[in-house]
Structure 1
Amino acid sequence: MSLFHLTSLADVDAAEWDALLPDQQPFLRHAFLLALEESGSVRSESGWQPDHLLWRERGRLRAAIPGYRKRNSWGEYVFDHAWADACRRAGIGYYPKWLGAVPFSPVTGARVLGEAESAAQLLSALPETLHQHGLSSAHINFTDARGDALLQRQPDWLLRLGCQYHWHNRGYRDFQDFLDTLMSRKRKQLRKERETVAQSGFEFSWLRGDELREDQWDFVYTCYANTYAVRGQRPYLTRDFFSLLAARMPHSIRVAIAHLQGQPAAMAFCLTDGETLYGRYWGCLAEFDRLHFETCFYQGMEYAIAAGLKRFDAGAQGEHKLVRGFEPQLTTSWHYLTHPGLRDAVADFLQEEREGMRAWAIEARDALPYRRGDQ
């Protein structure tokens, strides 16, 4: 029984890796993670050095965690910048650290892959490997219920809660059927927002990954990169990533393109596993009133209804999603800190933060637009 560190997913057979996955969610698939590496979207120069953990027994892969050595905290969506800053002020090294996650993807899912017993052995061996490789800590982000149960049984791991907002398709016949479940005032707001975009002349089309030409992928990337450029930042993903993913996982990709007077003007890039639509990236060439809401939210909701999908995960954060029917959903991450003083301080902070997150998730439901009683 051995724990291996893998610096590229190309060094493990795709079928062997994918056999560990518990469902069809695209983010953990060998093709998705390898596309991030081969496109240069994750690399040591950007602070994302692949360091996948594999647990083998008698030569057979039994458990794994997709992982990265990090020299910054960008692109994680579980924010520990304050912890790093406290370490800097106290003269404690925080970087490099190890992160178990899907880069740039704040999506809950399997993180500790494989058979439960082997996965538990991998987790038990992880703290020692931190010391051996000079890593300050281990973090596993956006875990599912099975991962939570495994990590809860490991000593000294700290639980952190976050909150996202997901929309649920409760068997709606169409978008109007959904609107009929809302309070009158909120229903009018959503209808007015959609009418504003329609009256501006926008038309939308949905395409699978194998239906887009390379010039259309150029447009998708230009829109995606523009969301970073307007903030003076560089995009995480490279242009090559989109072409690689389209070649390897075309049927997982859905792209909504907004056309104005026959010309593409905005897009939303999504992935699907047959049950959930995952809204990942959006962008536009120019700002238009309410176009963001239509492209990122209402188009995805309407598509989910038409395709019979159960859920629409439109991305991290965004309390403005509540008034559009997206319900609060607690997320989990786990953290192992080797420095005892830091661990104690973070443990105290997380206890208070968890209480606040649970209270907020309950309070946020009061902002949902659904009818109550005679409304």
Structure 2
Amino acid sequence: MLGQTASSLGSATSYFALPLAALAVTGSTAWAGLVGTALYVGQVLFGLPAGVVVDRLDRRRVMLAAEAAGLVLYAALAVLLALGDAGIGVIIAVAFATGVASVFFNPAESASIKALVDPDDLPTALANNLARMNASSLLGGPVGGGLFQLARAAPFLANAASFLVSVISLARIRRPLSAPARDDGARDLRAELLAGLRFIAAEPVVRTVVAANMLGSLAFGSGLMALQLHWVQSGTPAAVVGVVTMVMAGCGLAGALLAPSVNRRLRPWQPAAAAGLAWCGALLWGAAQVPVAGIAAVLGVGSLIQPAGSTALSARILHLTPDALQGRVQSAAWVCVRAIPAAAPLLGGLLLQSGDLAVSFLALAAVQLVAVALFLTAGIRTIPRPAAWTAPTADTAG
């Protein structure tokens, strides 16, 4: 836990500082934006192959290799920046490689959780992870900005140190984290690459959750970007827009801490649908030109509710997925959902340029409502509370 907390904070710090480093080296906001794109490209391109690796190899070693790669990458970047030898190509390469390493580590970590906790404790374990990530996101900007102000290399040196702590922590784990070894003869690489997608398509609960998350990511990600750009163009100070982001992160952290208690009382669909309705409300208020404070309040409510639903449904996917497929299913779901936010900033900017902001927000709200409707389907509404997951249920057959 200590190792991953350190690594999460270090990564959040570097994610904030990487575009700043690109801007400092080139003076171009376009190059700074390309750094974020490089991170996403690495994640999407290697997502499916990473799942195969996670299911074939020892998961602890996969995580160790990914964290060791992060240690080398950021130590090298810190040294090059300190010497003044880090050009934009180096920074983009580090961002791309960071994305690649993350898609090996994340599914290996998620798949390992099932080996470490009981089924009814899966949502709590995921909520703890989410709380860690939200806390890191909340602190990453101020810490990254402060360290970068101190020295360009400082945030990346700190991240390298955090990866070292994580490597040491992982090396001390002795409990097996992988599925039983398979002896299935010759392996069809193409079939293995597509196995996760096929499982998602065949399992109704998983298919519905992934589809809802894809639509929600598209609608909310695009809408939030359009809102932020519109506020800035309308004269709202950038610091105020930053406060809205901090409100969401703070409420998300509180929601993650409250998620275990909520999941003991509610079925997963209830907080998931409620959060979706909150996002829809924020988009509708954007169409109505409600002041920033009002929209921020709705965004805060959604951020507070969302962790309970997301952790319970993610845990349900872990519970339904066979151990031998964990890596590929987690990677495939991740690629499906994460590939959409890569286009969300661009779509948000295009919507803002379209001229009719109200119509754009109404269209996004309609997409968000479709995502909410998916959470209201019978297959999702009948998922029991996590405490009942130790016994087989009707929807586990797939």
TM-score range, shorter chain: under 0.3
More strand by share: 1
Q: TM-score, normalised by structure 1?
A: 0.23
Higher RCO structure, 1 or 2 (CA under 8 Å, sep 6+): 2
